[in-house]
Structure 1
Amino acid sequence: MRKVLVLGGTQYFGKKLVQKLIENGNEVTIATRGTKSDPFGENVKRLVIDREKKETMVAAFEGKEWDLVYDQSCFSPMEAKDTADALKGKVRRYIFTSTQAVYEFGTQHVEGNFNAYTYPVTYKSRKDYPGYEGYKEAKRASEAVFHQLGYFEVVSVRFPIVVSEDDYTERLKFHVDKVLSGQPIGIPNPDLRYSFIHADEAASFLLEIGYSDLEGPINPGSAEDISLRELVEKIARVANKEVILENSTDTGIVSPYALPGSWSIDTSLAAGLGYVFTDLNQLLGQLIKYYIKQYN
């Protein structure tokens, strides 16, 4: 039985990961601030930590060891360093949930387009990284800390946009609801392109990558990307409605996917290793139909 520590694991696909770990016979410990309930009952052990207070992690991890760590809750290089120091010598393999946001805006990024092994690190806390630009920088620097310290075998999983029927952000649902209600959607640049992955497949990928011997960065997700224009036109076709696009950033109508640039990834490395993800057209089609049914 493997001993697995999950930092976070009480929200969205992190919660799905924990459930899969339990079902696969692992001894699971989740480490969180202890402010949210979880559905795992006696199937997990629990530790209370604060990622911004190193002393809480040192105390919580004292005298313990794990085979594998999944990090779902790191949002600054200072947190990365403090966590790595607290776990040094206590774990062999470390799976860091990162993001396609480590890349510059653009399409079909391959893993080598951002090198965490050489990226310069300035140690800052999460409050020093506001907005999208801050998020990008925080994740880049966090990756760099884990890979450059060399304390563990590290995998940085650079997820694209995660979607599912139970997506708490409701970003895809926003577009479906606007089309169905005949309201305009604000998209200043409808030709920006994005990559996606289903939350269940994100959790399954994390589970499987933990059993592998891969080290370094990897891009999981559906192989294709899609523009915002193509996305809302697809919604309109499925719903048999007209879509109203506006060149607007007004609150209330602006698309939550209307970022400053495209973000999409090349997933051929993961595919070449045998990992399979749902075709993007099928993935989005299923979700659009689900949200239409929920709306009606």
Structure 2
Amino acid sequence: MRKVLVLGGTQYFGKKLVEKLIENGDEVTIATRVTKSDPFGEKVKRLVIDREKKETLAAAVEDKEWDLVYDQSCFSPMEARDAAEVLKGKVGRYIFTSTQAVYEFGTLHAEGNFDPLTYEITYKSRKEYPGYEGYKEAKRASEAVFHQLGYFNVVSVRFPIVVSEDDYTERLKFHVDKILAGQPIGIPNPEMRYSFIHADEAASFLLEIGNSAFEGPINPGSAGDISVRELVDKIALLANKEAVVENSTISGTVSPYALPGSWSIDTSLAEGLGFTFTDLNQLLDQLIKFNIQQNALN
């Protein structure tokens, strides 16, 4: 039985990951601030930590060791350095949940388009990384810390936009509801393109990459990308409604996918290693239909 530590693990696909680890027969410990309840009962062990206070993590992991760590809650290089220093010698393999946002705006980025081994690290706290640009810098620097320190066998998983029927962000649902209601959607740059992955497949990928010997950055997700315009047109077609798109940034109408540029990834490395993901159009079609049905029930 493997001993697995999950930093975070009580939200969204992190919760799904913990469920899969339990089903896999692993001994699972989750480390959180305990601000949210979890459904795992006596199936997991628990540690109380604050990622912004190194001493809480050090105290929680004292005299403990794990075979594998999943880091779902690191949002600054200071937190990455603290975790690496505290867990050095206590774990051999470290899976860091990163993001496609480490790349510059653009489409179908391969892993080599951002090298964490050469990125210059500036140590700042999570509060010093506002907005999308801050998020990008924070995740870049965090990756760089783990890979440059070299304390563990590290995997940086660069997820695209995560979607599912139980997506708490409701970003896809926003578009469906607006189109069904005949309300305008503000999309200043409708040709911006993005990649996606289903939350269940994100959790499965984390489980499987943890079971592998792979090291380094990797892009998981449905192959290809789609523009916001194509996504809106797809919703309109499936809903049999006309989409009203405006060049607007008015609060309440602007698309949550109206980012300053495209962000999409090349998933061929993951596919070449034998990982499989739902076809992008099939994924979006099933979620759009689900949200249309849910809208009709409300």
Paired residues for 1:58-97 under 5 Å = 58-97=58-97
Question: Percent of counterpart pairs with the same letter?
Answer: 83
Letter of the 1:177 partner, please give it: D
The answer for the alignment partner of 1:229 in structure 2 is 229
Paired residues for 1:205-244 under 5 Å = 205-244=205-244
Any unmatched runs of 5+ in structure 2? Answer: none
| CA shift for structure 1 position 58 | 0.6
Instruction: Give the SS at the match of 1:91.
Output: coil
Does 1:169 find its partner at 2:159?
A: no
CA deviation profile, 1:105-162 (whole Å, cap 9, x unmatched):
0000000000001100011100110111000000000000000000000000000000
Paired residues for 1:26-37 under 5 Å = 26-37=26-37
The answer for the alignment partner of 1:191 in structure 2 is 191
Q: Stretches of 4+ moved more than 6 A in 1?
A: none
The answer for the alignment partner of 1:246 in structure 2 is 246
Distance 1:220 1:35 in 2: 29
Instruction: Give the SS at the match of 1:223.
Output: coil
Distance 2:122 2:286 in 1: 43
The answer for the alignment partner of 1:204 in structure 2 is 204
Paired residues for 1:45-60 under 5 Å = 45-60=45-60
Distance 1:59 1:235 in 2: 50
Distance 1:104 1:249 in 2: 23
Distance 2:283 2:197 in 1: 8
The answer for the alignment partner of 1:151 in structure 2 is 151
Q: Over aligned residues, Cα RMSD in angstroms?
A: 0.3
The answer for the alignment partner of 2:17 in structure 1 is 17
The answer for the alignment partner of 1:130 in structure 2 is 130
| CA shift for structure 1 position 16 | 0.1
The answer for the alignment partner of 1:108 in structure 2 is 108
Distance 2:152 2:81 in 1: 12
Distance 2:156 2:230 in 1: 30
How many residue pairs are counted as aligned between the two chains?
296
Distance 1:234 1:116 in 2: 36
CA deviation profile, 1:27-84 (whole Å, cap 9, x unmatched):
0000000111000000000000000000001100000000000000000000000011
Distance 1:198 1:180 in 2: 23
| CA shift for structure 1 position 224 | 1.4
Provide TM-score, normalisation by structure 1: 1.00
Letter of the 2:173 partner, please give it: K
Instruction: Give the SS at the match of 2:67.
Output: strand
Distance 1:27 1:86 in 2: 21
Does 1:282 find its partner at 2:282?
A: yes
Instruction: Give the SS at the match of 1:46.
Output: strand
The answer for the alignment partner of 2:44 in structure 1 is 44
Instruction: Give the SS at the match of 1:139.
Output: helix
Letter of the 2:79 partner, please give it: E
Distance 2:31 2:189 in 1: 40
The answer for the alignment partner of 2:256 in structure 1 is 256
| CA shift for structure 1 position 90 | 0.1
Does 1:142 find its partner at 2:142?
A: yes
Any unmatched runs of 5+ in structure 1? Answer: none
